[in-house]
């Protein structure tokens, strides 16, 4: 009994370490050869290089080099060329947590962009900031209008003014139309996850209880809200031909869900393995989603940690929903998403440690820990995450958000509760059919070529 208690308290202590530097990534020594250092795989300047090959309206700003302007931003950010660093400093003062609007996505098809930021600090007396207006207007084509997607309800946004926050007033931003799309945050999401996991662990056979618990968890409602907001952003850009600014309060949670999912919908590159990794790095890690706070104890957090919330898991779930509807358009498979979910919560790699780039650089993670990408991007690992059905699809993919089209992500939530032997075997059978198909195609091609050659040889001989 005593031993059991000892073990229990040890586990308790070890699973809730206070100091990041005591965590596993700092002690983990890889047993594999590093081909490419994942810490250097996705650098902002590479991203900018790609951008500058299609447009010269943007520039790379090093204003945040020492994390002095915005602690949750990376050292370099992409901003409109016409806005200088001095103006950026002023805009930073006007935005919550200094998160001034930066480029999130450039839509090559029509040159429209998606930016993200935090809420403007208008307060109750309607403060304005000329530089802020100038900055976001700089992204508009002459005579065109843009959309501001506020991920809070109008009510919540209005209440934020009392605390110094707020939203863009029509009067000061006449070229922008504001749309409120409420996405829930923090403890509401956390409670939703706890309820969902509880429902999934209930092995009782009662159908009504299962359905009402699933409903009460609200998880799929959150999925629908997030997907809908992301579709809206994508729609404004692709179909309306308008630029978009997305923000909520801090711009580190729902904002990132919307901007990253919109890119999955719009940009075929984000549906490749490398492109998706790059998306996670850009839109989540570098963009300052506080992983350490959000992904601590998952559904079993009993200490009611105020900052815990499954924001990233919801994002992955939304990606899975789109993947299910477009099973041939993604280079990666469900396992890849599950792997990311696991590593976001507990990992031997340093990638998801810390809350932003500034903390990561203080912890010297790139020097002291291994990057997840160094491990994943080796061909042995990659092969596990490849979708055999993948065929590059350059189109924009519009998912259905009808409740009949959304499903519980069984691979995550029912993973330990249902036998998956038969499903796994069916999956393997499917892969072998695809492989066999490729082999046969190659063989037929080879034989055809051989035959044709024989024919030409014969003809040549005849001619001789």
Partner 1 sequence: MEHIRTTKVEQVKLLDRFSTSNKSLTGTLYLTATHLLFIDSSQRETWILHHHIAAVEKLPLTTSGCPLVIQCKNFRIVHFVVPRERDCHDIYNSLLQLSRTAKYEELYAFSYNPKQNESEQVKGWQLIDLAEEYKRMGVPNANWQLSDANRDYKICETYPRELYVPRTASKPIIVGSSKFRSKGRFPVLSYYHKNKEAAICRCSQPLSGFSARCLEDEHMLQAISKANPSNRYMYVMDTRPKLNAMANRAAGKGYENEDNYSNIRFQFVGIENIHVMRSSLQKLLEVSGTKGLSVNDFLSGLENSGWLRHIKAVLDAAVFLVKAIAVESASVLVHCSDGWDRTSQVCSLGALLLDSYYRTIKGFMVLIEKDWISFGHKFSDRCGQLDGDPKEISPVFTQFLECVWNLTEQFPQAFEYNEAFLLQIHEHVHSCQFGNFLGNCQKEREELKLKEKTYSLWPFLLEEQKKYQNPLYNPDFFPGLSLLEPNTVSFNFKFWRNMYHQFDRSMHPRQSVFNLIMTMSEQNKQLEEEIKELEAKIKRRSGQSAAVLVKEHQQPAHPAPTALKTPPCFKKEQPLIPVNDAVRTIEGSNTADNRYSEFVEEFSKSEPAVVSLEYGVARMTC
Residue 410 beta carbon to partner 1: minimum distance, rounded to whole angstroms: 8
Under the binding rule (CB under 8 A), the answer on residue 156 touching partner 1 is: no
Residue 425 found at the interface with partner 1 (CB under 8 A): yes
The answer to the question of residue 205 lying near partner 1 (CB under 8 A) is yes
- Report 403-422 residues binding partner 1 (CB under 8 A): 403-408, 410, 414, 417-419, 422
Phi-psi region of 337 (alpha: psi -120 to 50; beta: other; left: phi over 0): alpha
Q: Which is nearer to partner 1, 335 or 348 (CB)?
A: 335
CB 117 within 8 A of CB 251: yes
Contact between 221 and partner 1 (CB under 8 A)? yes
Which residues ranging from 293 to 332 are in contact with partner 1 (CB under 8 A)?
324-329
How far apart are the C-alpha atoms of 20 and 12, rounded to whole Å? 16
CB atoms near residue 446 (< 10 Å): 10
Nearer to partner 1, 115 or 200 (CB): 200
* Distance in Å, CB of 218 to partner 1, minimum: 7
**Residue (49 or 458) nearer to partner 1, CB:** 458
For residue 28, which of 348, 330, 307 has the smallest C-alpha distance? Answer: 348
* Distance of closest approach, residue 420 Cβ to partner 1, in angstroms: 10
Task: Name residues contacting partner 1, limited to 129-148 (CB under 8 A).
Answer: 145
Site string for partner 1, 364-403 (x = CB under 8 A): -------------------------x-x-x-xxxxxxxxx
**Signed CA dihedral, 194, 196, 202, 208: sign only:** positive
Angle 262-271-228 from CA coordinates, rounded to 5°: 25
Q: How far, in Å, are 57, 120, 136, 234, 273 from residue 54 at the CA level?
A: 9, 30, 20, 20, 23
Q: Which residue lies nearer to partner 1 by CB, 177 or 378?
A: 177
Element holding 24 (H helix, E strand): none
Longest dimension (CA), the chain: 96
Q: Which residue in 62, 212, 304, 306 binds partner 1 (CB under 8 A)?
A: 212
Residues 445-464 that bind partner 1 (CB under 8 A): 445-458
Nearest-approach distance from CB 61 to partner 1, in angstroms: 32
Residue with tokens 């570098």, as numbered in its chain: 286
Residue 69 half-sphere exposure toward CB, CA atoms < 13 A: 24
Which alpha helices (H) appear in 83-180, and where do they start and end?
Answer: 85-94, 130-137, 154-160
| 188 counts as binding partner 1 under rule CB under 8 A | no
130 or 415: whose CB is closer to partner 1? Answer: 415
Using CB under 8 A as the binding rule, whether residue 207 contacts partner 1 is answered as: yes
Residue 177 lies near partner 1 (rule: CB under 8 A): yes
Angstrom distance (rounded) from CA 271 to CA 105: 15
Q: Is 215 in the site for partner 1 (CB under 8 A)?
A: yes
Nearer to partner 1, 300 or 422 (CB): 422
């Amino acid at each position: 009994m005593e031993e059991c208690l000892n073990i229990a308290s040890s586990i308790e202590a070890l699973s809730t370490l206070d100091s990041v530097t005591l965590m596993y990534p700092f002690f983990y020594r890889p047993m594999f050869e590093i081909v490419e250092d994942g810490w250097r795989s996705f650098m902002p300047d590479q991203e900018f290089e790609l951008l500058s090959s299609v447009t010269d309206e943007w520039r790379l700003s090093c204003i945040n080099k020492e994390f002095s302007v915005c602690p949750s931003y990376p050292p370099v950010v992409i901003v409109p060329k016409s806005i200088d660093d001095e103006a950026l400093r002023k805009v930073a003062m006007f935005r919550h947590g200094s998160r001034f609007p930066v480029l999130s996505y450039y839509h090559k098809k029509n040159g429209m962009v998606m930016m993200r930021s935090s809420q403007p600090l208008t307060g109750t007396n309607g403060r304005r900031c000329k530089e802020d207006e100038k900055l976001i207007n700089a992204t508009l084509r002459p005579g065109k209008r843009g959309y501001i997607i506020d991920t809070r309800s109008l009510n919540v946004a209005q209440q934020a003014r009392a605390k110094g926050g707020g939203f863009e007033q029509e009067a000061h931003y006449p070229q922008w139309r504001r749309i409120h799309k409420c996405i829930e945050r923090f403890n509401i999401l956390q409670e939703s996850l706890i309820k969902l996991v509880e429902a999934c662990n209930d092995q009782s056979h009662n159908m009504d209880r299962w359905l009402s618990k699933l409903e009460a968890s609200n998880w799929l409602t959150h999925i629908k809200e997030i997907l809908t907001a992301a579709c809206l952003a994508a729609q404004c850009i692709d179909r309306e031909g308008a630029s978009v600014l997305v923000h909520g309060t801090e711009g580190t949670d729902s904002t990132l869900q919307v901007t990253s999912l919109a890119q999955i919908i719009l940009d075929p590159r984000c549906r490749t393995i490398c492109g998706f990794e790059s998306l996670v790095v850009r839109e989540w890690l570098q963009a300052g989603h506080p992983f350490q706070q959000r992904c601590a104890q998952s559904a079993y957090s009993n200490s009611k940690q105020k900052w815990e919330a499954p924001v990233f898991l919801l994002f992955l779930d939304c990606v899975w929903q789109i993947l299910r509807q477009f099973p041939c358009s993604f280079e990666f498979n469900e396992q890849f998403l599950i792997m990311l979910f696991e590593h976001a919560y507990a990992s031997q790699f340093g990638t998801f440690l810390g809350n932003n780039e500034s903390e990561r650089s203080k912890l010297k993670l790139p020097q002291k820990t291994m990057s997840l990408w160094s491990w994943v991007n080796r061909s042995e690992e990659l092969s596990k995450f490849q979708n055999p059905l993948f065929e590059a699809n350059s189109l924009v993919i519009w998912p259905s958000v009808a409740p009949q089209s959304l499903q519980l992500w069984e691979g995550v939530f029912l993973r330990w509760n249902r036998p998956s032997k038969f499903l796994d075997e069916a999956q393997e059978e499917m892969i072998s059919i695809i492989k066999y198909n490729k082999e046969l195609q190659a063989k037929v091609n080879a034989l055809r070529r051989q035959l044709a050659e024989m024919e030409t040889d014969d003809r040549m001989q005849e001619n001789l």
